[in-house]
Structure 1
Amino acid sequence: MLVTFRLMAILEGISYLLLFGLGMPLKYLAQIPEPNIYIGYAHGFLFIAFVVLAAVFCYEKKWGLRRFVIFFIASLLPFGTFYVDQKYLGKVAL
């Protein structure tokens, strides 16, 4: 479960950066909206999967609501999921 959650955190973070670092500039500066559609779908799926896995993981590890809220807020911030991976998930014992 930890490996899956860590992978989801990394993928969600990458999709966030791709969406706002590549998709949005292409859409608004170059008037090419197509990549933004696909990157947006992928990011939406990964975001929802990350939040669901965060809830499941926090429940299984018996972490409180506070840590889930930290994970959720991190998913809304650029580089937030990378921070979660390093600060919280890198130290969790299998």
Structure 2
Amino acid sequence: MNTLLKVLRIVGYLEGLSYSLLLFVAVPVKYILNDPQYVKLLGMPHGLLFVAYVVIAILIGLELKWSKKTMAFVLLAAVIPFGTFIADKKYFKLA
């Protein structure tokens, strides 16, 4: 389980980074400069990292018997900007 938790931490970091870049760099460039290239470039990797984060978080949550509140927060963290960084600090370092 320790290895899977390390993978979750890495995927969570990358997912949070890709989401932040997508939201705060690529989308403004798309609408301000009318250049959708960065959204196309970052969209697919972010989507794959998002799915990987959710699947791994569910697997670890079931294994560690997280409460519904903890599981909800960890999963919700994937859709909140910088949420995966908070989840990492609050839950993943402790496990």
Same fold (TM over 0.5): yes
* Equivalent in the alignment of 2:52: 49
Aligned partners of 2:13 and 2:77: how far apart in 1?
A: 12
Structure 1: segments with no counterpart, 5+ residues: none
Q: TM-score, normalised by structure 1?
A: 0.92
1:18 matched to 2:21? The reply is: yes
Structure 2 CA distance, aligned partners of 1:70 and 1:21?
Answer: 23
Superposed CA offset, 1:11-58 (max 9, x none): 110011010111101110111111111211111111111010110010
* Identical amino acids, percent of aligned pairs: 37
Q: Identify the match of residue 39 of structure 1 among 28, 33, 42.
A: 42
Residue 86 in structure 1 maps to residue 68 in structure 2: no
Note the aligned Cα RMSD (angstroms).
0.9
The runs of 4+ residues in structure 1 deviating greater than 6 Å are none
If the length of structure 2 is used for normalisation, what is the TM-score? 0.91
Cα distance in structure 2, aligned partners of 1:66 and 1:84 = 12
Q: Does 1:2 align with 2:8?
A: no
The corresponding residue for 2:66 is 63
Matched to 1:73, the amino acid is L
2: distance between equivalents of 1:72 and 1:63? Answer: 12
> Match of 2:65, as an amino acid?
K
